[in-house]
Chain A
Amino acid sequence: MPARLLAAFASLAAVFCTGCGSGEPEVVVYTALDREFSEPILKQFTAETGIRALPVYDVESTKTVGLVQRIMAESNRPQCDVFWNNEIVNTLRLKEAGLLDVYRPAAAEAFPGAFKSTDGTWHGFAARARILIVNTDLVDRDAYPASIFDLTDDTWKGRVGIAKPIAGTTATHAACLFAALGDEKAKQFFRDLKANGVRILSGNKQVAESVAAGELAVGLTDTDDAMGEIRDARPVAIAYLDAADDQIGTLFIPNTLAIVKGCPHPEQARALVDYLISPAVEAALAKGPSAQIPLNPSVEVPVQVMAPSQIHAMQVDFEQAAARWDSVQQFINQEFLVP
């Protein structure tokens, strides 16, 4: 009996210790880029470096904000090593909260100044654009809206879709509009949009799908979601809004990388950041189904969508957008989303 008891306890101890760490080097990465796009990159990283990447992917309903809240909640005992955000404003919120570590990878030197921090706390790469997806069966080419403000016209009443602007790139877009236009003009835009019967859906993918299905004529979404519908041979096309020089321009949102201060695996975290910011990864993301836009000038690959160098890009101070986050979210929750 004692032998059986010992065996039982040993089994229990083994089970208890399951998940206590395998001994091989590992890095914990919280990533907001969709799993189907980021997972192959992380697998390749593991194959090349031997460092096991342990990802936590965002949840579609809460996106980056959900991950940021988790990092903030764990700030006393960080679990995340690298935060791979698919936008920038929430990375800046973490920076403002003092939760990011300083690291200056050599590859970051090649990037334009607008897409990297001066203090080395975050690094931008591989961007996407906020665009209008248009149902080509419902809207003729010459009737495409030219500006985001056209969406408040009666022509588009009840025919426009937008994702809930509380998380993800739609929330970032909202914050950037507030920074670029000023509070009053931005609030008026959202009020006019609401008065024009805009359909608020759960995510950018749902907006793209609804437009592709013909339930909506147009919708604000990201280039990768629009390209997904295009590759599915749906009757849709992409329209780049505010492309004229006297308009506010198209918003390009970079992916951002940051190392969490006090993270459990700092050395492995630096290795992962070096890898992700490399030209090879930007090229892979550009060629892949997410159709990202390389920001490193040395990366020369065919781009599936328009790049900032080809159309009028929105000039926005992302730090200002991040500083406005709370007030924008308050407006969104208390006015825009209330029925």
Chain B
Amino acid sequence: MTRPLPFAPRNLVAALLLVLLGVWGLWLGFRSQDAALRELARNSFLLVALTLAVALPLGTQLAALVFRTDLPAAAWWRALVILPLFIPLPVFAGLWKATLGTQGLLTVLTGKAWDMGLLPAAATHAVAALPWVVLVVGLGLRSVEPELEEAALLDASALSVFLRVTLRRAGGSLLCAALLVAALVLGEMALTNLFNFRSYAEEVYVYFSTNGALSPLTLAGVPGMVLLAVLLGLAFGGILTHDPRQWETLWRGGFVFRLGRWKWPATALLAAVTSATLGVLLWILVSRVGMESQRVAAAPADSQAALVSGKDYVRAWSAEAALRTFQDALGSERREEWLASLLHSGLAAVLAVATALPLAWWMHARPRAAPGLGMLLGVLLAVPGPVLALGLIMLFNRPGPLGYVYDSMWILVLGLALRVWPFVLLAVWAPIRLLPRTLLDAARVDGAGPWQLFRYLQLPLSLGPALLGLLVGITLSLGELPVSLLLQRPGSMPLSVDIFNLLHAGVYNDVAAITLVLIALVFGLGAGMILIAGLMRRRLMAE
């Protein structure tokens, strides 16, 4: 009698592909004949590796703390840790530069700026990736079967059960989180561009923008993209075919690990670190907003223009300057642009939800289609943003009806919709997945036709998921950069592009003001999402 495999065949395939991806990346980075390709491959590989080395362990520990323990006010801690994933990536770069850039607070104190190269790029990516890791791993930890843990607790300590049972059962979510972070880092060029660190996505974007063609190095990255797409497809396929009982555990919440005597010290430590971090960041931003220069020496005559130097000026903080910065940074033009950005993001989210919802209902009745859909999601996520935008430009920038789309804002809306679609689909599918299939079957047996099913069952039940999907789509597309850069239309600069350009141009006062407003906006929208998710959860539990 053969022994069963200790793990699912899908996991074995995924592990093999992961090893293959790593080997391929290392080979390109160290053995390729092309020096430029070696540099790009090595940089991209190191960037992902370092990001994961920081974000994965830290995020897993945070996820365990806020999702599976009796930490006081755990729901609020979850919100605080997860909501930053909706903050546009360039904002993280702005915060980093404000802290450790050439005029950063810590730079002034230590005398050393730290805003170029691999380490700042990886550190910023790690900070931005942390909420993603906490969310994905946390959901995985939360969906572990409580009966397994309770049974194991009879013979082992809580820590032992957590490490040997819980973490092991949630291993798939760790892999998912790692793959998601890898895809996001590899497909993104904002941070590498700002921190002057060459990466594959940035090379694709810069080469196309300056030459109007695909970089010869683009093709070299295709095998990696394919491998990553398959891996992500397997991961998403696994999520989409997850045991419904585990989904129910996820929504209802399972076994809670007691922190015991560590409960209040852990809470105090978490509160102290969070307060200190938020406090320092807010102070940095507010001090940036109010800084202004004043001339202390007389303006030079023409013949003395050669002698002008920094000694002729002095910088000081004032509340009036802060107010002026807010007024300038959030003036009528920028408010119009923000509204335009909201409109584009809103339309992109509507487009994404309108296509994701029917698909979610279709899959509800056909769970076997999940692996195929998972592969589609994997492909969409694995394709770097610049490559997606190039594809749209090549497709639509031509005479005829397609050209009308290219000339309008809809090309940007389409690009944004494609970028956020995987996340929107997951957001609308998850609550629909929990609905019993017998619900629709029973209505059919009672004589309901397709229109009646839609009108009286699917439509009302779709409102909550649709709203959640809209919020996810809007917040994610507001922060999207690569597609926005290449597809922006005359007269309306997307918000993420605006921040990106301001950072490049060194207009840090405006960036600080915009960052403060954005953080308030994101947490406001995020609170709305949490409220909706909570209401849906209570409704589903009641049913």
Contact = CB atoms under 8 A, between A and B. Distances in A.
B209 A136 contact: no
Nearest to B394: A73
A43 B308 contact: no
Contacts of A80: 490
A232 B313 contact: yes
Interface stretch (A148-156, A209-217, A271-279): A209-217
Nearest to B313: A233
Contact of B315 (A60, A76, A232): A232
B306 A236 contact: no
B199 to A, nearest CB: 12
Nearest to A67: B209
Contacts of A212: 102, 310
B398 to A, nearest CB: 8
A48 B14 CA distance: 64
Contacts of B507: 36
Interface in B296-346: 299-303, 305-315, 333, 343
Contacts of B314: 233
Nearest to A232: B293
A3 interface: no
A202 interface: yes
B504 to A, nearest CB: 3
A228 B102 CA distance: 14
Interface string B489-531: 1110100010011001111000000000000000000000000
Interface stretch (B244-252, B357-365, B401-409, B414-422): B401-409
Contacts of A310: 302-303, 305
B392 to A, nearest CB: 13
A267 interface: no
Contacts of A53: 491
A205 B502 CA distance: 11
Interface residues of A, number: 72
Contacts of B299: 302, 304
Contacts of B491: 26, 28, 52-56
Contacts of B206: 61-62, 166
A237 B393 contact: no
A43 to B, nearest CB: 7
Contact of B403 (A77, A234, A306): A77
A79 B407 CA distance: 8
Nearest to A35: B501
Nearest to A135: B310
Find the residue from A53, A55, A209, A304 having the highest chain B CB count within 10 A: A209
Contact of B504 (A29, A60, A65): A60
Given A59-B500, A60-B504, A73-B397, A306 B210 contact: no
A311 B403 CA distance: 50
Interface in A30-61: 30, 34-36, 39, 43, 52-57, 59-61
A71 to B, nearest CB: 10
A339 B39 contact: yes
A2 interface: no
Interface string A296-328: 000000111111001100000000000000000
A338 B102 contact: no
Interface stretch (A12-20, A113-121, A251-259): A12-20
B35 interface: yes
Interface in B24-59: 35-36, 39
A339 B43 CA distance: 12
Contacts of A15: 347
A228 B315 CA distance: 13
A43 B310 CA distance: 31
A227 B500 CA distance: 21
A237 B501 contact: no
A29 to B, nearest CB: 8
A306 B305 contact: yes
B485 A229 contact: no
A213 B310 contact: no
Contacts of A202: 193-194, 196, 504
Contact of B501 (A60, A201, A210): A60
A186 interface: no
Contacts of A337: 36
B309 A66 contact: no
Contacts of A234: 310
Given A36-B505, A61-B206, A65-B210, A19 B308 contact: no
A66 B210 contact: yes
B212 interface: yes
A237 B490 contact: no
B188 to A, nearest CB: 13
Contact of B505 (A19, A54, A205): A205
Contact of A228 (B399, B490, B501, B506): B506
Contact of B490 (A35, A55, A61): A55
Contacts of A280: none
A167 interface: yes
Nearest to A29: B490
Contacts of B407: 77, 79
A69 B209 contact: yes
A222 to B, nearest CB: 12
A203 interface: yes
Nearest to A240: B306
A208 B504 CA distance: 12
A208 B310 CA distance: 12
Interface in B447-501: 485, 488-491, 493, 497, 500-501
B500 to A, nearest CB: 7
Nearest to B489: A19
Contacts of B493: 35, 57
B397 A238 contact: no
Contact of A59 (B35, B300, B309, B485): B485
Contact of A43 (B101, B333, B490): B333
A20 B490 contact: no
Nearest to B301: A302
B61 interface: no
Contacts of A196: none
B293 A231 contact: yes
A169 to B, nearest CB: 14
B116 interface: yes
B102 A236 contact: no
Nearest to B397: A73
A339 B35 contact: yes
Interface string A140-168: 00000000000000000000000000110
A235 interface: yes
Give 5 nearest A-B pairs by CB, closest first: A60-B504, A54-B491, A213-B102, A237-B309, A54-B490
Given A210-B102, A233-B313, 5 more contacts: A26-B491, A167-B210, A213-B113, A230-B308, A307-B302
11 contacts: A19-B489, A28-B490, A59-B209, A167-B210, A212-B102, A227-B308, A230-B310, A233-B293, A235-B309, A237-B309, A304-B300
Interface of A: 15, 18-20, 26, 28-30, 34-36, 39, 43, 52-57, 59-62, 65-66, 69, 72-74, 76-77, 79-80, 136, 166-167, 201-203, 205-206, 208-210, 212-215, 227-238, 240, 302-307, 310-311, 337-339
Interface of B: 35-36, 39, 101-103, 107, 111, 113, 116, 193-194, 196, 202, 205-206, 208-212, 293, 295, 299-303, 305-315, 333, 343, 347, 393, 397-399, 403, 407-409, 485, 488-491, 493, 497, 500-501, 504-507
